[in-house]
Amino acid sequence: MTPTTSLSRSSIKSRSSSPNHVGRQSHRVERDRCGTGQDLLGRYADIEGRAREVVALPGFLESVLVVDRDASTLGDRRLVAHLASDEPAENAAIACSRYLNDSRGRWSRRVTAEDLETVPFAEEQEIHAAAGAPSNARELVDRHGRVHRLQLLAGEKSIRQLRWCRQVSGQEGIGLEVVSVRDVVGSLETYEPVRTLTLGAVAWYRRDPEVSVKTVRLELERVDSSPLVLNRGLRETALAVAQWQGLSMSKIAMRCGRIKYDSRGRPSGETSWLGRRLGILPSSRESGPTPWVHTDVLALIAREGLRISPREVELG
């Protein structure tokens, strides 16, 4: 998945905010000046007990990268937030505090070369300038033949809302149902071009007083920051590795610590558990296989079950 690379401007401190507010927000964050143009924002230990640290690093055109990295090797860099040059320095501490205290589980993505050469919100501006007015005729079709497209729908007080819609067939013919960005991404099992089309439309309409883009933009931010990611890359890799190496699903599950015993005490892997996480078998909460898996489970199956890096199965 492609996680968010910037904090929402509505959720961070503005220059007119009180500095006392920052102190309350970041009371658990340890700050220290490093001698290499870096701010140490916080430290913690991961689930395997390895020391990690969150730092603020200089980015392109005076932007700031808030990065989670291995404290010993300074490698395995994960992007927490990308702050624009006009944002106050305290926002890095706020981003770190939120990240460390997130009750839903920390989520970030690996730092890429592009992160070092771009600035926040530039992507929206480029899409806006290059694409012109978004076309509502752009349709995305999933593997079930369902059509998805962005629509301007009637909203409250004559203000239209930008939303994703899906064509549905019923007794009265073909109609449209409103769906979330997450629904569209899950149906297509890919983040693109859903993300690009959404960003482009939001960039185009965000200054139009007669169109609200708030809901669809929040939906995109939730997809980008969610610890639930698409499992298609994991599934395809697991099936390929199983074929190449002659591994059974039972063996992969056993490597992950998911073991069951028959009446004679003979062990085998919980293939149903693995099948649900790979999106092969229906989830207990869904009518069909789910396209999502938690990042912790993805990492477990990749590292232990397939003996590969989780990054090899992450979808961008």
pLDDT single digits (tens) 127-161: 454 445 565 557 899 988 899 999 999 876 778 99
CB 71 within 8 A of CB 52: yes
The distance in angstroms from the start CA to the end CA of the chain is 4
pLDDT digits (tens, 9 = 90+) for 32-74: 333 345 689 999 998 888 999 999 999 887 889 999 999 999 9
Distance, in Å, from the CA atom of 161 to the CA atom of 215, rounded to the nearest integer, reads: 8
Cis peptide leading into residue 193 (ω within 30°): yes
Show me where the domains of the chain are located. Answer: 9-118, 126-226, 229-312
Tokens of 90: 């305290």
C-alpha dist (Å) from residue 279 to 32, 148, 230, 261, 290 = 44, 22, 9, 24, 5
Of 290, 288, 306, nearest in space to 298 by CA: 306
Lowest model confidence (mean pLDDT) among 20-29, 214-223, 235-244? 20-29
Average pLDDT value for the chain: 80
Question: Model pTM?
Answer: 0.61
DSSP string, 228-251: EEE-HHHHHHHHHHHHHHT--HHH
34 and 40 in contact (C-beta within 8 Å)?
yes
SS3 state of residue 39? strand
Q: Using 50, 70 and 90 to split pLDDT, how confident is the model at 87? A: confident
What is the C-alpha to C-alpha distance for residues 136 and 130, in angstroms, rounded to an integer?
A: 16
